[in-house]
Structure 1
Amino acid sequence: MSLEGVKIGVAITGSFCSFEKTYKAMEDLVKQGADLYPIMSATAYKTDTKFGLSKDWNEKFMNLTGKSIVNTIEGAEPIGPTAFLDIIVVMPCTGNTIAKIANGTTDTSVTMACKAHVRNLKPIVVAMATNDGLGSTLRNLATLLNKKDIFFVPFGQDDWVKKSNSLVCDFELIGDTVEMALKDKQIQPVLL
């Protein structure tokens, strides 16, 4: 299936070590014909890290998508009433954001975008990257796995020796996951 013309909100949160993989996945979605709309949490939008300066990442995301970044709650709220997105992909999705989505907290642009979008009964894809997936995030992960319209990019432990609770999705499966979610199906197997 082609993603030609599919309007995808790409909601980026603060797993900064995954930004390079996120950017590559976004490039792949663009190559498949998707129309991307960048959304960033305030933390992801303004934080400089050893993985890059925020202004450089913001510029890369805007150049790739050709659109300004939604980075405020007020900017994300109209996603619901306008219903213009077909799907939202939260990538990378931190444990913090998983908890907020699972519990209905809308205190960031990303969580507001998800709340606004899901009211239209449209799918959200979670591309997880969190150091505590098998720790404090696990109960929130279980909550989301049982919610309608929430789909997961297949994930597994990324370094079970040094980071035994860490879970990361396979960023190369984002396009396939989006295709399945648009058909209201969870790609399988979800656990790698």
Structure 2
Amino acid sequence: MASLPSDSSDKGILANRFQSNNHPSKDIKGTYGSELIRKKIVICITASVACFKSIDLIRLFIRHGAEVFVVISKAVEKFIGKEYFVWASGNPVTTHLSGELEHVRLANYNNSDLVIVYPCTANTIGKFANGIDDTSVTSVLSIALGSKIPIIISPAMHEAMYYNPIIKSNINKLEQMGVIFTPPVIKEDKAKVSSVEEVFRHSMEKVFHIRQPQNRDTGKVFNWNKNNQFFCKQSLDSITEINDIELRSFFKGKKILISLGSTIEYIDPIRLISNTSSGKMGFSLIKAATRFGLDVTILKGITQIDQSIYKHLRKFSQRMIEVKTTDQMADAMSQELYKSKYDVVILSAAVSDFKPQIVSDTKISTENENLTLKLIPTIKIVDKVKQIQDKVFLVAFKAEYSLSLRQLITISYSKLLKCQADFIVANDVGPKHNVIGSENNKVIIIDKDRNFYDFPTQKKEQVAEDILKMVYLNLNNIND
């Protein structure tokens, strides 16, 4: 735990400036959890137009129990004004260095537990990397680095500037010294500052090594995994901001394989077992993928789509493969993946999990009053995808019935790990949630890094667009 010193020679406010106080803004302290109680965090803010987002970061840390002190550059003071940050943190804000030695009081040995720069300009990165301490922010960073206090930096600048080899060299130089960087979101020719939730997750995982945050829906972070790993609830803003032009430009010419519908398993030549999947979610994905310029191959099982809609499926695809049983779908998918290289595979089909161990060659007589049907597991089609094409971007689906949010996320994440999906779309088809075959759907998307996105109930056409936007965000970051 950090302990901010108080020089006995200082009098009055000078001695107490960097100590905790009972400012009314701290009424929110600990409302999301107590993981960071007695932790002192310094948040430095530099002159990016994204500087207003830092207020949310300050408040989030306070809600988890931390004491936050803010250091701002002169330009930020002009952009926003320091009083907003006094309100946000409940503590005095450092705008310049004085005889109080603010940089030493904040970042000297054991005086703080973490220093964050959010957002951080290229100018500040360059000065910090080369030992130039001519601002309040760079002076705090210089002291923190020498004191071995953990530092997290979230860059924000134009895209071309971010890829400037000199700036990249400065970032690499600082990373070699142990400074943690949260990657920006590359969008609209900008390297936009990473989300508040992403910075918080980096802090929890890489600095504080905390695995037991409070389980509150509003608390952003949840400790549900039996292996003591937490899940982080992410904002939907980065998804809703994406426009169709971006998607069409990125997806044009890329190949996607989409499965939809259900599969059947025969008991005898005329009887079967199946599920009630309609195929509407898959059809919405096909329409959206076509609109965004993807070359679509359809792997179609049994659907309950109106025949007038069914006729349009071929119009939306380069190729359509029709199957009935799970084994047929598995074989068709394997053949297709061995034959053609795909950029994306989305398996929205509701495949039968079990099939009869023995299939009768003839119709089973109704005179048999004590018929016992023994079922065995079917092949897991989703597990085969990465075995054939390990570089393909895989989206899996998981439908469950009347589970809690915790159960739905943890079970879905286990499936994601097993099949090596890049993210998984989870939904609850219980009576309180999504009725199979309806026009609406409510989904939660979980990624490999244990982030989850909780979408509202909406039309399946919109759900399909959001899924493809998530694919775009992930692939765009991989390519960058």
TM range (shorter): 0.7 to 0.9
Within the alignment, does 1:11 sit opposite 2:44 as a pair? yes
What's the counterpart of residue 40 of structure 1? Answer: 72
Could you tell me which residue of structure 2 aligns to residue 108 of structure 1? 135
- 2:145 matches 1:121: no
Deviation at 1:24, TM superposition (A): 1.4
Identity among equivalent positions (%) equals 23
How far did residue 78 of structure 1 move?
3.2
TM-score for both structures, normalised by structure 2: 0.34
User: Structure 1 stretch 173-182 or stretch 62-71: which is displaced more?
Assistant: 173-182
SS of the residue 1:88 aligns to: strand
Match of 1:30 among 62, 65, 80: 62
Q: CA deviation at 1:172?
A: 2.1
- The answer to whether 1:142 aligns with 2:166 is no
Residue of 173, 184, 192 corresponding to 1:155: 184
Change (3 A) 1:159 1:2: farther
Within the candidate set 107, 110, 116, 1:89 is matched to: 116
CA distances 1:35-87 after superposition (whole Å, capped 9, x unpaired): 10011122222x24xxxxx33xx212101211111111333233344642111
Aligned mates of 1:129, 1:109 — CA distance in 2: 19
* Matched-pair contact (CA < 8 Å) for 1:152–1:177: no
Report the count of equivalent residues: 174
CA distance in 2, matches of 1:35, 1:41: 20
Identify which of 51, 71, 76 aligns with 2:95: 71
**Quick check: 1:89–1:125 contact (8 Å CA) kept in 2?**
yes
Q: What amino acid maps onto 1:143 in structure 2?
A: K
Moved more, 79-88 or 123-132: 79-88
Quick check: 1:134–1:167 contact (8 Å CA) kept in 2? no
Q: CA RMSD in A?
A: 2.4
1:115 Cα deviation after fit: 0.9
Conservation of the 8 A alpha-carbon contact between 1:9 and 1:38: yes
User: Radius of gyration: which is bigger?
Assistant: 2
Displacement over 4 Å in runs of 4+: none
Q: CA deviation at 1:12?
A: 0.6
> How far apart are 1:151 and its partner, in Å?
0.8
In 2, the alpha carbon distance for the partners of 1:77 and 1:108 equals 13
Any stretches of 5+ residues in structure 1 without a counterpart? Answer: 49-53
2:142 aligned counterpart, secondary structure: helix
Q: Is the 8 A contact 1:124 1:151 kept in 2?
A: yes
- 1:168 matched to 2:193? The reply is yes
Write the distance in 1 (CA, Å) between the matches of 2:183 and 2:205.
Answer: 12
Which residue does the alignment assign to 1:51? none
Query: What amino acid maps onto 1:158 in structure 2?
Result: K
Q: CA deviation at 1:174?
A: 1.3
Whole-Å separation in 2 of the counterparts to 1:81 and 1:20: 27
- SS in structure 1 at match of 2:171: helix
* Inter-CA distance 41–77: structure 2 relative to 1 (3 Å threshold): farther
Structure 2: tracts of 5 or more residues without a match: 1-33, 210-447, 450-475
Instruction: Give the AA of the match of 1:156.
Output: V
Distance 1:22 1:11 in 2: 9
